[in-house]
């Protein structure tokens, strides 16, 4: 078994596509409308399945926002330099909610950002 994708419900599909592609450097992999059930799906990522997991952005027509709830935590991305990634994301208009630094109780360098819908994205420094 392997993870194929994670689905996030979004309130403005184009805004989310712009964030994940323009700010985080992902690619729009595919997009499809379902008029009968009034939703549109957009898959973004750094590559396609089966080599890479994807994010499925789901826009239910006419729904502009969702309650975050308390169960969802975050999506994590590995980056070679968290501080440099934060600067690039900030320059592109992204929202840094926790600056680069060691994780509490450890030495791994992390940071947190939020997407336009308020979903948390963790950046984890991975060398190599």
Q: Which two tokens stand for residue 49?
A: 């399945």
Evaluate the omega torsion of the peptide bond into residue 89 and state whether it is cis, within 30 degrees of 0: no
Please pick, among 51, 56, 64, 122, the residue that the annotation labels catalytic: 122
Burial 11-44 (b: 16+ CB within 10 A, else e): eebeebbebbeebbebeebeeeeeeeeebbbbbb
Is 51 marked active-site? Answer: no
User: Could you give the residue numbers annotated as active site?
Assistant: 122
């Amino acid at each position: 078994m392997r993870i194929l994708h994670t689905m996030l419900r979004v309130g403005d599909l184009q805004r989310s596509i712009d964030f994940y592609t323009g700010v985080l450097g992902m690619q729009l992999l595919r997009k499809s409308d379902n008029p009968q059930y009034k939703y549109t799906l957009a898959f973004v990522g750094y590559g396609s399945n089966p080599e890479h997991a994807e994010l499925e952005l789901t826009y239910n027509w006419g729904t502009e926002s969702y309650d975050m709830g308390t169960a969802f935590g975050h999506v994590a991305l590995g980056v070679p330099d968290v501080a440099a990634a934060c600067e690039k994301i900030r320059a592109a208009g992204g929202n840094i909610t926790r600056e680069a630094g060691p994780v509490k109780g450890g030495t791994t360098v992390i940071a947190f950002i939020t997407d336009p819908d308020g979903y948390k994205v963790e950046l984890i420094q991975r060398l190599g």
